Amino acid sequence: MQWHTINLLTYHYKEKLKLHHPIRKFLKTTFDRINNEKLKHHILQAIPFWVASLIAGLITVFYSKAFAFLESQTFFIINYHHWWIFILTPACFVIAWWLVARFAPYARTSGIPQVMAAVELATTSYRNKIKKLLSLKVFFVKIFSGLLMIFGGGAVGKEGPTIQMSGIVFRKVNEWLPSWWPPVSQQNMITAGAAAGLAAAFNTPLGGVVFAIEELTKTHVSYFKTALFTAVIIAGLTAQGILGPYLYLGYPDVTHITNSIIIALLVVSMISGLLGGIMSKIILALFRWKKSFKFRYQHFIYVLACALLMAAIAFFLDPEILGSGKRIMTTTLFHTDKYVHWYTSLFRILGPILSFGTGASAGIFAPSIGAGASVGSFMAGLFHESSSNANLLILCGMVGFLTGVTRTPFTSAILVLEMTDRHSVIFYLMIAGMVAGLVSLLVDKHSLYDHLKVQTLHDLTHEKEDFTKETPNVEKI
């Protein structure tokens, strides 16, 4: 009873401080003067999205620039001192994994499954669970672990971490609202944050919107369309204001597409979708196997083995296994030597398996697109396609492979479209996504993210320190 009284007094004291904070007091006084209650309500509900979008855009720009810089430095170091990779990769992989395992287990891997779980749990009853998924501690561990992975040559992307970090920013802004502020849906805030993070990371605003609708939420978009669109626009404009109106990949030549390309396109879509699904199954199998580890040193040995295997492949066979995959995308799309070897595709698939499977912070969007580009490039060489036709097959391979991993054909097609600004081939890209989505069902009915979301909910439910009466509805996949 004593503790209850103390907590109650502490709560009222904090609320009093909130009210008397100069900024909050100014806002309250200003909006109290607005006579139109409906207008005042809408403005107050919009402000948190505006503020969070601006902050998320700035953070995404910082992370993207740091990510690109460290990736370039890795290849620079390896080009001049090849053997350093046997020191750099193991050290970075182990430290990146240790940060997550020691300080923030829910900062592991992509971050998208955690956001999906948070959206599903976004009710007052599960506030503590959401906090574990989207906390400031997770935010900082996510940054450092992800940057260490890319500096170590990991085949990881930046989009998953930026999505989770943006979700954290939006949740914190929602949490900091004073008691007199009109209630803002936490679910809508987290969903809009994730969409804004993806839009700012790749400069793909439409892709961010479609991703939120297709992957993150089952709610009809009409319930939060204004908030979602506003978040994406502000975050995207913030990124463009600093980085400029850039394209993630550029303008590949697809001006002379022949009608005969449709057969090759279908083959590439089927193969890339199948391989994307297989890669996801292998990653999930590794995670299940790792659950049998009883001691921390077993995880350490596994991470070290993954790092040394990547280093050995990069040193002795093909350095293209390293990095996010952007280098192979640009090389195949914009250079005359467009056709990669079969083993390059194999290594571009193996790289994300070894990197993502460590459990460190690691996005998988960009590595999947890079693997799809290598598949499309190799198949274009087999079909002896022209430069324009080869570029189309590379783009379709990118869409197909990402669809095989995420099962979001329209998001994949829109992302690749916005990365290249090639509107003339949108129908080809959508065909590739739909074909890959159907073929990937032969491997598994659910996406990699769906499985990891269920595992995240299971972990939350079975945590010993969690004494909430209700448990999340965990559907077995």
3-state secondary structure of 157: strand
The CB-based long-range contact list for 105-109 (8 Å cut-off, 24+ gap) reads 105/459, 106/132, 106/133, 106/135, 106/138, 106/456, 107/138, 107/141, 107/142, 107/145, 107/164, 107/361, 108/359, 108/360, 108/361, 109/160, 109/356, 109/359, 109/360, 109/361, 109/362, 109/364, 109/452
pLDDT of residue 368: 95
Domains 42-248 and 261-456 share a fold: yes
pLDDT of residue 37: 65
Classified by CATH at the fold level, domain 261-456 comes out as Clc chloride channel (1.10.3080)
Whole-model pTM: value is: 0.86
**For the chain, how big is the Rg over CA atoms in Å?**
23
CATH number of 42-248: 1.10.3080.10
239 residue type, one letter: A
pLDDT of residue 89: 95
pLDDT of residue 358: 93
Domain range list for the chain: 42-248, 261-456
* Structure token pair of residue 110: 């992509």
For 117-218, strand residue ranges (E) read none
pLDDT of residue 216: 72
pLDDT of residue 390: 94
pLDDT of residue 469: 40
pLDDT of residue 4: 47
Q: Give the integer Cα–Cα distance in Å for 349 and 397.
A: 13
| Nearest by Cα to 276 from 195, 363, 364 | 364
Can you list the residues of the chain whose pLDDT is less than 70?
1-39, 41, 123-125, 217-227, 229, 244-246, 464-477
**Which residue has tokens 């280098």?**
327
DSSP state of 458: H
15 residue type, one letter: E
Residues 159-204 have pLDDT tens digits of 889 999 999 999 999 888 888 788 888 888 888 888 888 888 887 7
pLDDT of residue 472: 47
Phi and psi at 33, nearest 5°, equal -85, -15
How many CB atoms are located within 10 Å of the residue 257 CB? 17
Following DSSP, what letter does each residue of 348-415 receive, concatenated? HHHHHHHHHTT-SB-B-HHHHHHHHHHHHHHHHHHTT--HHHHHHHHHHHHHHHHHHHH--HHHHHHH
Whether the Cβ atoms of residue 353 and residue 381 lie closer than 8 Å to each other: no
